[in-house]
Structure 1
Amino acid sequence: MSLLPVAEAQARLLALGTILPQERVPLMQAVGRWAGADVVAMRHQPADDLSAMDGYAIRFDDLPGPWRLVGESAAGARFAGEVAPGECVRIFTGATMPEGADTILIQEEVGTEGATVTLTGDAPHRYGLHVRAKGADFGQGRAVIHKGELLNAAHIALAAMAGHGSIPVARKVRIALISTGNELVQPGHPVGADQLPGSNGVMLQALLHGLPCEVMDKGIIRDDLSAIEAAIRGCADADIIVTTGGASVGDHDLVRPALAAAGAEIDFYKVAMKPGKPLMAGQLGKTVVLGLPGNPVSAFVTAQLFLKPLVAALSGAANPAPDLVSLPVGAALSPVGKRAEYLRGHWDGRVVTPLRVQDSGAVYALSQANVLIYRPINDGAMEAGAQVECLLL
């Protein structure tokens, strides 16, 4: 069986799922989720012409003055009258411009004596200076947030200013995690001979933290076909079932036959990447099944490249694929063979340097990495200083 290129495997995985049903959530619950529809402004911002400075609202044609002070306009308490020729209104930042006035004379440029205001400094050099025009930020009816955009704090402020108290988003993705392996024990439990702590379950939960998902950890399942099948069948309410381990071809690698026994259809198996070759994906009814390798580094890398984009796709992301950035490499790199490589590296703000240890079981080295250096299939040798594509962690 030929190995599937990473980009094709990603596309095929994302095609297995569909965007989940939508719900409207309060603004603060929308942070870190993707907009399920365009958010259209219900009002102009600003709603009226506003002053951008403290000073005096005047008619530009009345320059160079003097002016008769007839009132005051503050934020939330506008001047109710109209500014006639030769008149001005004391105004503060954010206050509504009075009718008839069109320009702001900043307070540092004037002198006052009683109700008389005179120009003592530089005059406004143009009509409308220091005025924020009605609708200058956005107008009523404009789509201020687009479907599929990832919502951050600025989007929340924008939605609020546009008149909304909630945003439509896809419901949270339900993810079931299944770890397999006779050698695994729960973290923190005594470790016997031929055993090791199971780190993949907690690692994946940590990796998914902050994404719009609900994670159900089904624990560690022994290498028994019927036990793994039963665990898989017990995840019928999940949108994604993630297994770790048991995805290779050894006598104890039972995830594939267990999935088949449960009625799943495997879409692809084995990807041309290092680490992470024994990756598989398929469907069990409407549930997407993603089988990750058991080695912790392999599970981490494949989760970055496949699981997180899948969550984004089901959540309605317009661009679920991970973004790569170009960085200068700090050391020479060897040629790449028939599998794309994802080297663990460290970016120090100047160059990115591959870590010395690249073993797929080296968790300490993984903890020191803040980037994955992407090397495509058959990429040639690279000198220090060359640009490489990287995934920021």
Structure 2
Amino acid sequence: MALLSVDEALARLLAGAAPLGWECLPVAQAGGRVLSSPVEAHHTQPPFNASAMDGYAIRAADVAVIPAQLKVIGESAAGHRYSGAVAAGEAVRIFTGAPVPQGADTVLIQENTERLADDTVSVLQSVAEGRNIRRAGLDFTKGDILLQPGRILDPAALSLAAAANNAEIRVWRQPRVAIITTGDELVAPGEAPGPDQIISSNSLGIAEIIRIHGGEALDLGIVGDHVQDLDIAIGTAIERGADILVTSGGASVGDHDLVHEALTRRGMELDFWKIAMRPGKPLMSGKLQGLHDTSLRVLGLPGNPVSSLVCSYLFLAPLVSALAGRPYRPDMRRVHLGADMPANDLRRDHIRAEIIQNENGDPVATPLPLQDSSMLSALARANGLIIREPHAEAARAGESCEVFMLR
């Protein structure tokens, strides 16, 4: 099977990828989710003319000439309005957020007054009519559309939906992504590895990429190199209603790489296998029949840790975003090369690099000295990937290059 380009593979992977359907959630549980329907205001905010400051509710005409003294006839606090009206020569002690009583047209801040007695206040500075009052509907009015579909419910949007008296809101369902990690050589973090074993780490990074992009990760654990065990794990992913099945390891062509065989036995319709990229050549994509005759997308990632995570950044992140209804905009930038680069071969290269500003403030991408696909320490150190297209000519330090920012 010929190697696909990265762009063609991504286009085929995302073909038909769309939000999976909406669900209604309590607003308190909807943080970080994506709106599937507009959010409407169910009341007016503020619902009454409210004081923006601590001070006195007065009639501006009564303090046009100072000094002036006003009779204090009551108090209005948040949640406890003054039920009477303010007449000429009168004032009501008022606090921030409290309803402005009838008859008053201005709030005089307390710093510009002096309390002479329990029922008398001296006005030290005049104030224009309408000052320090938040008019009813200043923020929004009942029936206003406040948030549009596609908006991620970040802290401000979530608070706005709640302030508009929405107890529940409609959001796109989170895609469920089952993760199967394969390999007899793997043990879970915290366990003591045998003489021929290593610690399994890929699923943690994959799960975090899923979470960041709006999905729900279902880690099905480590599965040994046995087709029967893989079949059981795949069945579990289907039973749990997974929308995407991600496998890590076992997707190459060695005698112990059994993922393709197990998926084929389950009836997988293979789309592609092997990409013209480095790291991550043995990337596999296909579809299985999921729960209730739904389509279960399959993404087989390489087992090398760096390859697995780079493929997750480039392919899994946009797929999860599309199914979650989230916008996906990879952070691509043009920067200067910090070192000479040799000519490239037929595969698109993703070179781990540190992108920092030079003395002139220009961003410079310097490749890390070791690019082995097993080295997580290098990937954690890198904050970007230098993109070298297939057959790219040699490049010199200082020339422009494209980088995919990781953080």
Q: What is the TM-score when the length of structure 1 is the normalising length? A: 0.84
Residue 70 of structure 1 aligns to which amino acid in structure 2?
A: I
What residue number does 2:106 align with?
103
* 1:25-40 alignment runs, 5 A limit: 25-40=25-40
* 1:265-276 alignment runs, 5 A limit: 265-276=269-280
**CA distance 1:290–1:388, shift in 2 (3 Å):** same
What residue number does 1:372 align with?
384
Report how far residue 149 of structure 1 moved. Answer: 2.1
Residue 286 of structure 2 aligns to which amino acid in structure 1?
A: G
Output the CA distance in 2 between the equivalents of 1:392 and 1:367.
10
Post-superposition Cα deviations, 1:13-51, rounded to whole Å, max 9, x if no partner, equal 233544334332233322222223222111122122211
Q: Would you say the 8 A contact 1:17–1:288 is kept in 2?
A: no
**CA distance 1:138–1:212, shift in 2 (3 Å):** farther
Report how far residue 306 of structure 1 moved. Answer: 2.4
Output the CA distance in 1 between the equivalents of 2:113 and 2:98.
19
| Structure 2, unpaired ranges of 5+ | 290-294
**CA distance 1:164–1:347, shift in 2 (3 Å):** farther
Q: Would you say the 8 A contact 2:175–2:323 is kept in 1?
A: yes
Residue 163 of structure 1 aligns to which amino acid in structure 2?
A: N
Output the CA distance in 1 between the equivalents of 2:324 and 2:141.
28
Output the CA distance in 2 between the equivalents of 1:147 and 1:59.
45
**CA distance 1:296–1:90, shift in 2 (3 Å):** same
Output the CA distance in 1 between the equivalents of 2:305 and 2:31.
30
What residue number does 1:10 align with?
10
Post-superposition Cα deviations, 1:123-169, rounded to whole Å, max 9, x if no partner, equal 33x54222222222222222323322222233332222111223323
What residue number does 2:123 align with?
119
Output the CA distance in 1 between the equivalents of 2:4 and 2:269.
17
Residue 368 of structure 1 aligns to which amino acid in structure 2?
A: R
SS of alignment partner, residue 34 of structure 1: coil
SS of alignment partner, residue 236 of structure 1: helix
What residue number does 2:245 align with?
241
Q: Percent identity?
A: 42
* 1:24-173 alignment runs, 5 A limit: 24-65=24-65, 66=68, 67-114=70-117, 115-121=119-125, 123-124=126-127, 126-173=128-175
Bigger drift between 153-162 and 108-117 goes to: 108-117
* 1:133-282 alignment runs, 5 A limit: 133-187=135-189, 188-193=191-196, 195-208=197-210, 211-222=214-225, 224-225=226-227, 227-237=229-239, 238-282=242-286
Counterpart pick for 2:350 among 339, 342, 349: 342
Bigger drift between 284-293 and 14-23 goes to: 14-23
Post-superposition Cα deviations, 1:74-107, rounded to whole Å, max 9, x if no partner, equal 1111121222344332211111122232322211
What residue number does 1:314 align with?
323
Output the CA distance in 1 between the equivalents of 2:269 and 2:21.
24
- Please tell me the root mean square deviation across aligned C-alpha atoms, in Å: 3.2
Bigger drift between 383-392 and 167-176 goes to: 383-392
Output the CA distance in 2 between the equivalents of 1:98 and 1:37.
38
**CA distance 1:184–1:111, shift in 2 (3 Å):** closer
Output the CA distance in 2 between the equivalents of 1:100 and 1:335.
80
Output the CA distance in 2 between the equivalents of 1:69 and 1:333.
79
For the pair 1:324 / 2:331, whether they are aligned, the reply is yes
Bigger drift between 268-277 and 340-349 goes to: 340-349
What residue number does 1:23 align with?
23
Output the CA distance in 2 between the equivalents of 1:117 and 1:392.
62
Output the CA distance in 2 between the equivalents of 1:175 and 1:165.
28
Residue 374 of structure 2 aligns to which amino acid in structure 1?
A: G
Report how far residue 227 of structure 1 moved. Answer: 4.8
Post-superposition Cα deviations, 1:190-221, rounded to whole Å, max 9, x if no partner, equal 3224x433322344345445754141414223
**CA distance 1:59–1:207, shift in 2 (3 Å):** same
**CA distance 1:133–1:323, shift in 2 (3 Å):** farther
Equivalent residue pairs, number: 386
Bigger drift between 92-101 and 177-186 goes to: 177-186
What residue number does 2:302 align with?
293
SS of alignment partner, residue 101 of structure 1: coil
Report how far residue 52 of structure 1 moved. Answer: 1.2
SS of alignment partner, residue 107 of structure 2: strand
Report how far residue 290 of structure 1 moved. Answer: 0.8
For the pair 1:391 / 2:405, whether they are aligned, the reply is yes
Output the CA distance in 1 between the equivalents of 2:399 and 2:96.
50
Output the CA distance in 1 between the equivalents of 2:304 and 2:79.
61
**CA distance 1:339–1:127, shift in 2 (3 Å):** farther
Q: Would you say the 8 A contact 2:38–2:147 is kept in 1?
A: yes
What residue number does 1:283 align with?
287
**CA distance 1:289–1:111, shift in 2 (3 Å):** same
